[in-house]
Structure formats: C-alpha cells, structure tokens
Structure 1
Amino acid sequence: MTNLAHDISKPRRTFWTMERRDAAAGYIFIAPQLMGIVLFVLIPLGLVFWYSLHEWNVLANTFNFRGLGNYEQLLRDPALPQVLAASAIFSAGLVVFNMSLALLLAVLLDQKLRGIVVFRTLFFSPVVVSLVAWTIVWGFLLQNNGGINGLLQMVGIEGPNWLRHPTTAMISVIVVQVFKNVGLNMILFLAALQGVPKELYEAARVDGAPRFKQFRRITLPMISPTILLTSIITIVGSLQVFAQIAVLTQGGPGMSTTVLVYYLYQQAFQFHFFGYGATLSILLFLIVAVLTFAQWQMRRRLVFYEN
C-alpha cells in the first residue's frame, strides 16, 4: 500500500515537454530549407565530385572510372591559365566599376530633391530586365555598324569593332554587366546611406570638417557592412557569368573572353567531356569558397562594427 501511494503521488514525466515542443516546432519550420539545401546543394555537389572521377560520354553511352585522371588533366591543361586570367580580369573590372559607380549613384541619389524617385527607378530598372534580352540589345549596339559607332561617327570618331578585338571585347562585356546590375548595389548603398545618423554629419560640420572628410571618416565606416556584403555578392556573381559571354562573344576573339564558367560549358556540353567539366566546376566551387572565406576573414579590418 505504501509503494502504491508513493507511485500515485509521484508526478509522471511527459515526453512532450515544453522544450521538446519548441525544438520540434523549430525543426518543422526549418525543414523545407534543409530539404532544399540537401536536394539542390549537397546532393548535386556530391554527384559533381563523383562525376569528376569518371569520364562520361553521353553520345557513346560510356561511364568509365578515371580516378584522379581529370584532376591531372586540369593541371596540364594549356588553356586553363588563359581562362583563369580572363576570369580574373573580368571579375576585377566588374567589381571595381560596379561598386564605384553604384556608390557614386547612391550618394547622388541620396538627396531630398524633387523627382529623385524617378531617377532611382530609372537606374534600378535594368536589374529587372531579362538578362538575355538586355545582352541581345547590347549586342546590336556594339556591332561594327551598330548604335554606339553610329553615335561616334556623328562627332567624327570612327569606333572599333567592339566585339572582335580582344581588349575592347572584354571591356564591352564588363560594361554591359556593370550597367545591368549596378542598380542592385546602388539600392543597397542607398539604404545604408539613409541609415547613417544625421547627428554625426551635424557634429562634423560644427567642427569644420569638409565634405570629403565627412565621407571618408563617417560615411564609409558606417556603411562598411554593406560594402562587404556587396563585394561578396559582386565577386561571386562575376565568377558565374555566362549568358553575356555566350550571347556577345562566344568566348572570343580567340579565348580573350573565355571565362571559367563558359570554358566549363564548352568542355561539358559542346565537347561532351562531362567528367572534365565536372572537374572544372569543382575548381570553380573552390575559387568561390576561398575568395568568400578570405573576404569574411577580412571583415575585422574592413567593417566598422567588427573593430
């Protein structure tokens, strides 16, 4: 009787405690995102690595194990240095011009002027335009007898064949991409500028600081987190460029505009070397991961809030 009374008076432990219910609710909420990451990131990444160890010929219906043969071919590929150089030039040009122009536009458009919203919409509108349509239009403008050279002839200047010379072809592709996406970085910079406390500028003006010093000492440090974000987004996007190259230059003239993604496409889908194409995609993944990690590690020096 004593043991029975003790068992009755002892509170029962329920399995669904408050902590477990909260944990289960959290897992349910993140389950779709986790499934997306597993299905569309981790599994494809694992398959790409598996394909890079094989030589897969779709036309001959063969799938042969090569081990590290594709990676050895990568080290011996005579075209790879030129491809990496073109990728570096494109990325450096895009990052410098895109971010500089975006910051300049954001500063100019961060003014309380009549009709300023119209100009903000005008500069942002290319972002929502179809990438292929945008590139095709620019392809017509940059032809030897296109609109750009037509305007130059009106002022007595004979323009070059922009897409058929190695230097001007790379510059043209960079400019097309800058004008396409500069509005996105502009909006991010504009939002960051509007978040800077106005009291800091008022105090600087009282102390007699000129505008350039205010920009260097107040504006840049306060928007440094946005600068870091936009630099990561821009660099990653520049390494993944494909449509502009495919429509405008097809990697030419020669291989002057053959960036890594387009070279990957050629190897896998034009020459049907799917195993080697998968190896190039692994290289691209490593480059993006290393650059992103390096930028993130530099945040303590570059970002004001991390100091």
Structure 2
Amino acid sequence: MTNNQCIILDENIELSLKREDLIHPYISGNKYRKLKYNIAFAKANNYKTLLTFGGAYSNHIAATAAAGKEYNFKTIGIIRGEELGAHLEKTLSENETLAYANSCGMEFKFISREAYRAKNDMSFLNTIREEYKDVYILPEGGTNDLAIKGCEEILTTSDLTYDYVCCAVGTGGTLSGIINASKSSQKVLGFPALKGDFLTTEIAQKTNATHWELIQEYHFGGYAKVTKELVDFINGFKKEQEILLDPIYTGKMMYGIFDLISKGYFPQNSRILAIHTGGLQGISGVNKTLRKKGLQTLDI
C-alpha cells in the first residue's frame, strides 16, 4: 500500500500526493499496476516471453525488463530508432534506460521510426508473432484491459473522500482505471503529456463514466518537451518537499495543479489527491538532452 503525503494544507486547499513511485525500486508507479494482471495472465497461460514496444528512454521498457527478471520471463523490446542498434555497445554506454533493460536480460529489436508507427497494425503484429513465435505481447505504454484493471487499484477506500483526483496522462490507461475506481461525486482531472485532443476519444472508449476532464494547458510543448520553467519548478519542489518528480509526466501535472490553485480553479476547502506515477528512471535521459543544449538540469 502506498502513502498519501500532504503537500499543501491551509484553510482553503488541501493537496496530497499518493506516492505510487515508492511501490518498487524498478517496477515503479503505474507501470507496476499495469503489469500486475498481465504478468498473472501470462503465467497462468504458460507464456515464457514478454514482448513490448517503446522508445529509447521508455519507462515501460525498463519496467517490463525488470518484471521479466523478477518473475522469470524472457523479455523482448521492440525499440523505436534503428540507428540505436547500429553500434549497440555505444548506445548502451550512453543510455541508462536501455543499459538497465539489457542488464535485466532484455533482447532488443531496433526498427525504423516509420516501421514503428505500424506497431498496432495486425499485419505488423502477425509478423512479430511469426518471428518470435509464442510471445505475450504488451502494447506500447502497457495499456490494455488488464492494465486498466490494475490501475483501478491505485485508489483505496480512504481516497474516495477527496473532491478531486489528478493524474498525468500518456496513453490514458492509468487515468481510465482511476476514473473507474473513483466515485461519481469526485472530479478526476487528467494532465496530458502530449499535445492534441485525441486522448479524449481514447479515454472515452475505456470508461463509461463522465466525471472526468482533461486539462490540456500543461504539456510544455508536447511529449518529452521540457522547459527551464518546468525544470525550475521540479527542482524547487524537490528542495521544499524532498520529493523527486519526473519531467515527462508527474512534474507537468504538479506544475499544473499549483498553477490552477493560484488561479482559483479549485473551490475553497477542496481536498485534492494527485498521483505520483513514478517514471523517475527517465530523468537521466532528459538531463542528457538538457546538457547538450547547455541548459540547467534536474536535481537527482
């Protein structure tokens, strides 16, 4: 069970952070939730190999590799960017995510970005099954019905007393599970890390509930985009609260919540619960990009 840590408590607003990042050192946050029932299903059906998809700094790739090692599965990662496989030793020396996955025994297949866009097409998946035979395939980001079931367990009975529940959004699976587990009297707010309104349709296909909303203004330019303003906020938050946020998901959500509080978005006496979904392993990759640009890095 994870704990809720109070961040703001005054006469007007209470904000707490659910520390899902503390569940497991490597299978962290929502990745643990998404993998839980998929791992159980794979074991029950005698699969020996997990295969999934991701970018070079994917939290899901790292978590799947860790889960494979812990639960005795072979793992295969289909990685976006065929150039990364041209000099694998160099890639592993420069990329902590892939180096960690490799240390857990994950086998890599690097494909072009064009080919990667077809990752959900049935013809592409059939080709993968032909090549790797009897594998249990997890989608990019890990979202499927079993993942949503796992994410429904993020909220506990005591969490149903909050007025608002906030969560960062990637593929929408985590938010969908939270929506399903929440009460209709609560308002669930999703903070997308990606630009565009397509996630509204995606999430609506995963839940019948309507007591949720996407807050679109805090993506900071899009997925994996990080600004000095965001870095300053995350570093300041860590200094004040002694909690590290990731810059792709949770950092953007927390920035958005603080900004909305300052603008009077939440009514007086509101109780807000924000979900820390982990993803801290990706910070090294972001810092590498920031250093290349001569910009301030995130304090780890």
Tell me the TM-score range normalised by the shorter chain.
under 0.3
Please give the TM-score of this superposition, normalised by the length of structure 2: 0.21
Higher relative contact order (CA closer than 8 Å, sequence separation 6+) = 1
Q: Which has the higher helix share?
A: 1
Q: Which has the higher strand share?
A: 2
Specify the structure having the higher radius of gyration (Cα). Answer: 1
